[in-house]
């Protein structure tokens, strides 16, 4: 593995190796001195074109726990905001000797393009509406930690599939790992070719929940509400929001996940969000271990 | 500008792919055709052995970028590129800066074409002021100008307002003009980046549904028939569009249509690596669409091949997909791509190619002295093409000022060896003059 651009590029063995490595590295977080010397002398650049404090911080902590030198290159307040092209920024980082670049960008495919312009490893931290591979990996890691396995599990992903990079990465990864995925959304928020994806599709959340081990809720962004994807927030919430009654409809040990940030009262009720069956906080903690694993496997080799 | 010249005697070329003959070009005309012609005094001999002779090609859809984007192309560099591709006339699209929506701008482009001298540059006039889709530009003034504009288009932007389109179709009748529509329903394509389907869904790029093109074509065909006007459909790209145009022609609508070389060969899978060299409007579609376009061109549903030559500077393509410019250069590769997709596949003869790339576009654009037969007394607009000269396409080696060819690295089957504009060689021995 040189880059991590899409979960679709991972074989089952590679994906399992990442999860196993994350499990080992998670123990570092439990120690009083949370640091390993593995990436000492290596430079990781966080290149963030979109504001995402939580993802950037997670990557930053992960790299620092492995003793890498971390530089945050934010699009705001740098030459990027003065119109420097992604290519020139890439060449600049290359010249400064970046061993790894973690990129978050609003354009689908930006990480692919960057990988063509730098020698170092590129880690896709979310590109437009394309993919968010480390989110899917930390989700899989969280499921495995909670339920002990992925093979054969029934996972429902609920919400704005059409615009979700999390959904794309999760469908590919979960399928590779042997889980059965069902996408649940109003038809307006599903891609037109979704019937060709390796998963089931349903418009009816209530029908899906009783046969679901894991439900992943997606955030619905404010701009969708004014573009006729659904009539009103209330109607969306009634059809596709997760509340206590729906939680009761699921098997007893089933869990509810959310990549954050949550919109309480829209896609998830406070009752569910604060329930012990909701893994939101665990996902954040696991994110650090998982990102340590990916950085270690991409950069630790030489 | 090409040098002054005397007569040229082409030896042993195959007119429309037929038997080898000699062709004498003198005084701007085809003076003699026959075997074993004797060269008049001062005539330059041109070895035509193995070469197909075609009437000079006519492009209905070229972006020359001048005025405004001379960093991408100028009238001179673009018309040199055209000559290199075997063209003797091109239609320069109106989306320049300033927009070609007045007699002044179209006359400027026309004059620059004359001064360059590589091919006849026929400006296209904008349908609406500033391509803004609000009110008609001074179509009459452009038609009556020295540029004698006959093709009107807001290319790049669809005339989506049905009433405005109706008025434009009606108005151009007074000048024997035609409205060339860029069929793209704007609401269905807001933010669209590539063909909507499996690939766009996987890549997370906003989709450009086929229906956005087809719905406008259907509407325009019905409008054109209602008001009895000529309609030309630019760069048809979907199977459904071919069906609709076939249906419209069958019911008597005076509609013509074009397809680009890239839509005859390339498909959306090329977008997989997010390289914007493959970003174009309309987008690359599916295999099924490519097959339908080839069939439509073969059976005459689609009348012409037009390049939509769209030069862009390097930096407009060396970027992330969504911010990259749309378009591809195409003048210098068009004939070879048509050979590969249509002739080598048995779908068209060379005589058909002459129709689709010369006679039909000249007829639609009302371009006198182009698109005529290879016969004694006709204007000496002739291209000599070697259909057995495979080479690897390379944007940097092209005559155009830009290099954004989607065919880079692909092997194309043949090359233009010579182009004559009214008897003057603009390309000779495969080199631009």
Which CATH number characterizes residue B100's domain? 3.20.20.140
Q: How many CB pairs below 8 A link A and B?
A: 63
A82 is catalytic: yes
Can you tell me the distance from the alpha carbon of A277 to that of B227, in angstroms, rounded to the nearest whole number? 67
Can you tell me the distance from the alpha carbon of B242 to that of B361, in angstroms, rounded to the nearest whole number? 18
Task: Among B206, B315, B322, select the one facing A85 at the smallest CB separation.
Answer: B315
pLDDT digits (tens, 9 = 90+) for B158-215: 999 999 999 999 999 999 999 999 999 999 999 999 999 999 999 999 999 999 999 9
- Answer whether residue B322 is part of any domain: yes
B159 neighbors B168 (Cβ within 8 angstroms) = yes
CB atoms A109 and B203 under 8 Å = yes
pLDDT digits (tens, 9 = 90+) for A124-167: 999 999 999 999 999 999 999 999 999 999 999 999 999 999 99
Residues of A in contact with B204 (CB under 8 A): 108-109, 127-131, 165, 168
**Residue A157 DSSP class:** E
**Residue A268 DSSP class:** B
- Answer whether residue B374 is part of any domain: no
Task: Among A105, A191, A197, select the one facing B320 at the smallest CB separation.
Answer: A105
Interface test with A, best of B320, B321, B322, B324 (most A CBs within 10 A): B320
Q: Give this complex's ipTM.
A: 0.93
pLDDT of residue B4: 64
Mean pLDDT calculated for residue range A208-225? 91
Mean pLDDT calculated for residue range B125-150? 98
Contacts of B24 (CB under 8 A, 6+ apart): B7, B8, B9, B10, B30, B31, B32, B33, B37, B39, B40, B43
For residue B207, the distance in angstroms to the closest alpha carbon of chain A comes to 9
- Answer whether residue B432 is part of any domain: no
CA A266, A269, A274, A279 torsion: positive or negative?
Answer: negative
- Is the bond into B303 cis (omega within 30 degrees of 0)? no
Q: What angle do CA A159, A162, A163 make, to 5 degrees?
A: 90
Whose CA is closest to B183, among B137, B237, B261, B247?
A: B237
Query: How high does pLDDT run on average in chain A?
Result: 94
Domain interval for residue B308: 56-365
What values do phi and psi take at B201, rounded to 5?
-65, -40
- Answer whether residue B407 is part of any domain: no
- Answer whether residue B162 is part of any domain: yes
pLDDT of residue B1: 56
Going by pLDDT thresholds of 50, 70 and 90, the confidence category of residue A74 is: confident
How many domains is chain B built from? 1
Q: Which tops the pLDDT comparison, A222 or B13?
A: B13
- Answer whether residue B49 is part of any domain: no
- Nearest C-alpha in B relative to A130: B204
* pLDDT at residue B279 greater than cutoff 90: yes
Can you tell me the distance from the alpha carbon of B90 to that of B56, in angstroms, rounded to the nearest whole number? 11
Mean pLDDT calculated for residue range B253-275? 98
Mean pLDDT calculated for residue range B312-331? 96
SS3 state at A152? coil
B115 neighbors B126 (Cβ within 8 angstroms) = no
pLDDT of residue A24: 95
Parallel, antiparallel or unpaired: strands B424-428 and B415-421: antiparallel
pLDDT digits (tens, 9 = 90+) for A21-56: 999 999 887 888 888 999 999 999 999 998 888 999
A55 is catalytic: yes
pLDDT of residue B381: 98
pLDDT digits (tens, 9 = 90+) for A195-210: 999 999 999 999 999 9
Query: How high does pLDDT run on average in chain B?
Result: 97
pLDDT digits (tens, 9 = 90+) for B407-428: 999 999 999 999 999 999 999 9
For residue B326, the distance in angstroms to the closest alpha carbon of chain A comes to 16
CB atoms A130 and B273 under 8 Å = no
* In chain A, residues 106-135 whose CB comes closer than 8 Å to chain B: 106-110, 112-113, 127-131
Going by pLDDT thresholds of 50, 70 and 90, the confidence category of residue A76 is: low
Q: Which domains occur in chain A, in start order?
A: 7-132+284-299 (3.40.50.1370), 133-278 (3.40.50.1370)
- Answer whether residue B3 is part of any domain: no
Mean pLDDT calculated for residue range B79-95? 98
pLDDT digits (tens, 9 = 90+) for B338-383: 999 999 999 999 999 999 999 999 999 999 999 999 999 999 999 9
- Answer whether residue B355 is part of any domain: yes
Can you tell me the distance from the alpha carbon of B309 to that of B109, in angstroms, rounded to the nearest whole number? 16
Residues of B in contact with A107 (CB under 8 A): 320-323
Inform me whether the C-beta atom of residue B202 falls under 8 Å from chain A C-beta atoms.
yes
């Amino acid at each position: 593995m040189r880059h991590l651009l899409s979960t679709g590029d991972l074989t089952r063995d590679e994906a399992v190796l990442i999860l196993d490595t994350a499990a080992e590295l998670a123990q570092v977080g439990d120690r009083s001195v949370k640091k390993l010397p593995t990436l000492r002398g290596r430079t990781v650049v966080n290149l963030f074109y979109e504001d995402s404090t939580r993802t950037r911080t997670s990557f930053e902590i992960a790299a620092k726990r492995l003793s890498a030198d971390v530089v945050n290159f934010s699009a705001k307040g740098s030459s990027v905001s003065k119109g420097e092209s992604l290519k020139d920024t890439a060449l600049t980082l290359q010249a400064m000797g970046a061993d790894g670049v973690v990129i978050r960008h609003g354009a689908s495919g930006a990480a692919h393009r960057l990988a063509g312009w730098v020698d170092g490893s590129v880690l896709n931290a979310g590109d437009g509406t394309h993919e968010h591979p480390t989110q899917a990996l930390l989700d899989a890691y969280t499921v495995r930690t909670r339920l002990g396995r992925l093979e054969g599990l029934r996972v429902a992903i609920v919400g704005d599939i059409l615009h979700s990079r999390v959904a794309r990465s999760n469908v590919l990864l979960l399928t590779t790992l042997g889980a059965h995925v069902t996408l649940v959304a109003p038809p307006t928020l599903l891609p037109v070719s979704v019937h060709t994806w390796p998963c089931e599709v349903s418009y009816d959340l209530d029908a899906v929940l009783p046969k679901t081990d894991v439900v992943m809720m997606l955030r619905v962004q404010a701009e969708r509400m004014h573009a006729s994807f659904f009539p009103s927030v209330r109607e969306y919430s009634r059809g596709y929001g997760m509340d206590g009654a729906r939680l009761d409809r699921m098997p007893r040990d089933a869990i509810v996940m959310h990549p954050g940030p949550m919109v309480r009262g829209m896609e998830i009720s406070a009752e569910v969000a604060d329930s012990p069956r909701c893994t939101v906080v665990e996902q954040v903690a696991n994110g650090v271990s998982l990102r340590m694993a990916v950085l270690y496997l991409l950069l630790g080799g030489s | 500008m090409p040098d002054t010249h005397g007569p040229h005697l082409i030896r042993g070329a195959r007119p429309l792919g037929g038997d080898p003959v000699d062709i004498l070009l003198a005084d701007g005309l085809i003076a003699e055709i026959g075997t074993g012609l004797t060269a008049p005094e001062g005539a330059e001999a041109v070895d035509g052995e193995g070469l197909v002779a075609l009437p000079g090609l006519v492009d209905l859809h070229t972006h020359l970028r001048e005025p405004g984007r001379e960093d991408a192309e100028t009238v001179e560099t673009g018309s040199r590129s055209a000559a290199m591709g075997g063209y003797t006339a091109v239609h320069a699209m109106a989306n320049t800066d300033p927009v070609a929506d007045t007699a002044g701008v179209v006359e400027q482009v026309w004059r620059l074409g004359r001064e360059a001298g590589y091919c006849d540059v026929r400006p296209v006039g904008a349908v609406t002021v500033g391509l803004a889709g609000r009110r008609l530009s001074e179509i009459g003034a452009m038609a009556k100008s020295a540029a004698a504009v006959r093709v009107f288009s807001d290319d790049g932007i669809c005339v989506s307002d049905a009433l405005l389109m109706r008025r434009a179709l009606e108005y151009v009748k007074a000048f024997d003009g035609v409205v060339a529509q860029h069929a793209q329903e704007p609401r269905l394509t807001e933010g669209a980046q590539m063909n909507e389907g499996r690939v766009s869904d996987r890549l997370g790029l906003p989709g450009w549904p086929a229906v956005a093109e087809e719905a406008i074509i259907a509407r325009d065909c019905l409008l054109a028939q209602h008001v009895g006007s000529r309609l030309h459909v630019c760069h048809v790209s979907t199977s459904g569009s071919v069906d609709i145009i076939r249906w419209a022609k069958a019911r008597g609508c005076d509609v013509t249509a074009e397809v680009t070389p890239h839509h005859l060969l390339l498909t959306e899978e090329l977008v997989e690596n997010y390289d914007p060299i493959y970003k174009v409007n309309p987008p690359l579609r599916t295999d099924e669409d490519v097959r339908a376009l080839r069939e439509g061109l073969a059976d005459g549903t689609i009348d012409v091949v037009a390049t939509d030559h769209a030069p862009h500077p390097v930096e407009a393509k060396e970027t992330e997909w969504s911010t990259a410019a749309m378009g591809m250069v195409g003048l210098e590769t068009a004939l070879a791509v048509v050979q590969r997709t249509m002739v080598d596949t048995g779908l068209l003869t060379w005589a058909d190619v002459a129709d689709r790339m010369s006679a039909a576009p000249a007829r639609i654009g009302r371009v006198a002295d182009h698109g005529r037969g290879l016969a004694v007394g006709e204007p000496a607009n002739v291209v000599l093409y070697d259909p057995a000269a495979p080479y690897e396409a390379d944007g940097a080696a092209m005559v155009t000022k830009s290099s954004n060819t989607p065919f880079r690295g692909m092997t194309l089957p043949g090359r233009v060896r010579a182009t004559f504009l009214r008897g003057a060689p603009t390309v000779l021995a495969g080199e631009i003059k």
